[in-house]
Amino acid sequence: MSLMHAPTCACCGDLLTGRFDRRAFLKAAGGAGMVAAFPFAALAAEGNYEAMLGKYSQFVIAGASIGVVAPTFQDWHKAFWDNLAASIQLHHIPKVIALDHRDCGAAKIAYGPEKVANPEVETETHRAALMELRRQMGERQPKLAVETGLMALDGKVEMFA
């Protein structure tokens, strides 16, 4: 499977074939002109706004807190913190809610199957990752409130203080 579109693609075919003529330039300039003429349209996503039907702005990463704090997933950490900083800047979010879930494959990858071998050990593994996320959040974004929990496969959530 290719990550690039076909050269005949209407959205970006000209760029993929190296064609950037006067028509392509005018399209780009016209778009930039519209943003300059109507800046309120470009800034519509800023301000005190809560996405997703007025309830929350969502960021999903495999493993939830584990994906953010486990050394195994080090390459993912920056993406989370950069996304959070953008959400704070654009949407002025006051709180982060982190929910891990039971039977998490990322927990097995990061910590090994013995760390999720039974419900008690699994709970402590997730609790430790969520507490580490809370600690890092306090260092990086101390003004944010943080709620953490572990969701069972039936949807019930155990919240951790």
Q: How many CA atoms lie within 13 A of 54 on its CB side?
A: 0
* Cβ 159 vs Cβ 127: under 8 Å: no
Closest Cα to residue 125, out of 145, 105, 144?
105
pLDDT in tens for each of the 161 residues of the chain? 444 444 554 444 444 455 555 555 455 545 444 444 444 333 334 445 444 455 567 888 999 999 999 999 999 999 999 999 999 988 888 899 999 999 999 999 999 999 999 999 999 999 999 999 999 999 999 999 999 999 999 999 999 98
Whole-angstrom distance, CA of residue 94 vs CA of residue 145: 6
Task: Give me the amino acid identity at 125.
Answer: T
Structural domains of the chain ordered from first start: 1-41 (no CATH), 51-160 (3.30.1330)
pTM: 0.66
